[in-house]
Amino acid sequence: MLPDIFIKDTEHPFEKYIRENNLKNGKELSILNFGPTHPSTHGVFQNILLMDGEYILDADTTVGYIHRAFEKIAEQRTFYQITTLTDRLNYCSSPINNMCWWMTVEKALEVEVPKRAQYMRVIIMEIARITDHLICNGILGVDLGAYTPFLYVMEYRELAYEIFEEISGARLTTNMGRIGGFERDWSKAAWEKIDRFVTGFPKAWNELEKAFLRNRIFMDRTINVGAISAERAINYGFTGPNLRATGVDYDVRVAQPYSSYEDFDFEVPVGTSGDTYDRFCVRCGEVRESLKIIEQAIKNLPEGNYHADVPEYYLPPKEKVYTEMESLINHFKIVMGEYPVPVTEVYHSVEGSNGELGMYMITDGSRTPFRVHFRRPCFIYYQAFPEMIRGGLFSDAVATLSSINVIAGELDA
């Protein structure tokens, strides 16, 4: 026999609603399970929809299918072991998560990062933002039936992943960086690939943009679809492109600059109506601004070191580890998490590709954090989804879901 928990309260509120209200006014209502979708698309999440024909009356979102208890695991791990967890939050732009984690740790440990490393971080974060936006905008097209433009930009997504690979050795879950900077200086090949990306990508992006931006079918499918007002968006904790599409110009890069973002000249694109089309346009604008930032960072890249001089936290070079006793001990101590940690609490946020990605850490002086909390932007704004699709067509819900850029890894942490 099944335990009690599996049999009690099996009636969903929508079922109750249908039982009580069906066929009133001649309307036959139904329930539709939208998802759990295949992991390779947007991730796994289920929406239970109450439908009147093709119109959505109400929706109930279910999340947590790939919950991996990162916050719990982080309480048992040293700082270097936690980056691998942050990779898996928003896996479309893991370098941003990695950098946010290092900046959080550096804020707690009071490590000053050299200007060059900060600029390198900016470059890699902006490339990550571009890859994320091109996935989001490309997939929006795919979900509306336009597969080809997505493939135009795929080549450059591949190149961006090659850049990540050149820098960190991994493509998707990058585990990039160290406390105080990067693990190694970027190779010549990496710089060449970045150059190739910056020169070649705008052309591919123009092609994608041209396919959609003034496309009648695309406009009909996205304008006034899944709109949300600025007040509701702020109340719902929206950040990032989804908030800016409503006309609010809040961007963490400008509001509280980190990693030398104050040195760069860029604009914050905003929309007006907060609908799917505006979200698309804001992302298009941001991609161009990101390219501008990358160009400026490459041009003005300062001389200096690629990591901070903090031997307590930064792993010694491998040659020395293999030849010197002291370096071996130092390496071992850092890997085991044996470094001075102050008793403090720190919140650091960066402009992630889909909103304000914040990390809140409480340390108690031991090897592991006492508490880590990830402020995942899409977990917070996804709760507005039922409100955004209510009253609309089912096919509009698909477009809305693609355009708000919900990444299951981040949603469920």
Minimum distance of other proteins from residue 50's CB (angstroms): 16
Token pair in block for residue 300: 């003005």
* Shortest separation between residue 4's beta carbon and other proteins, angstroms: 9
Yes or no: say if 273 and 205 are a contact pair by the CB < 8 Å rule: no
234 forms part of the interface with other proteins (CB under 8 A): yes
- Three-state DSSP state, 19: helix
Residues 6+ apart with CB under 8 A from 101: 82, 83, 86, 359
| Widest Cα–Cα separation across the chain | 83
Rounded to a whole number of angstroms, the CA Rg of the chain reads: 23
* Token pair of 158 as six digits: 């591949």
Positions in 327-366 near other proteins (CB under 8 A): 336, 338, 343-347, 349, 356, 358, 360, 362-366
For position 3 contacting other proteins by CB under 8 A, the verdict is: yes
Q: In terms of CB distance, is 176 or 361 closer to other proteins?
A: 361
The residue within the footprint of other proteins, chosen from 82, 108, 125, 163 (CB under 8 A), is 108
Among 17, 32, 41, 71, binds other proteins (CB under 8 A): 71
Task: Specify the residue, 249 or 326, whose C-beta has the smaller distance to other proteins.
Answer: 249
- What does each C-alpha distance from 334 to 193, 316, 340 come to in angstroms? 32, 9, 10
Query: Which one among 67, 203, 210, 318 touches other proteins, defined by CB under 8 A?
Result: 67
Task: Report in angstroms how near the CB of residue 71 gets to other proteins at its nearest.
Answer: 7
- Do the Cβ atoms of 348 and 324 come closer than 8 Å? no
Minimum CB separation of residue 252 from other proteins in Å reads: 10
The DSSP result for 355-381, as a single string, is: EEEEEEEEEESSSS-SEEEEE-HHHHH
189 binds other proteins (CB under 8 A): no
Q: How many residues does the chain have?
A: 413
What does DSSP assign to residue 25?
G
375 binds other proteins (CB under 8 A): yes
Write out the residues near other proteins by the rule CB under 8 A: 3, 5-6, 63-64, 67, 69, 71-73, 75-76, 107-108, 232, 234-237, 250, 255-256, 336, 338, 343-347, 349, 356, 358, 360, 362-367, 370-371, 373, 375, 379-384, 412-413
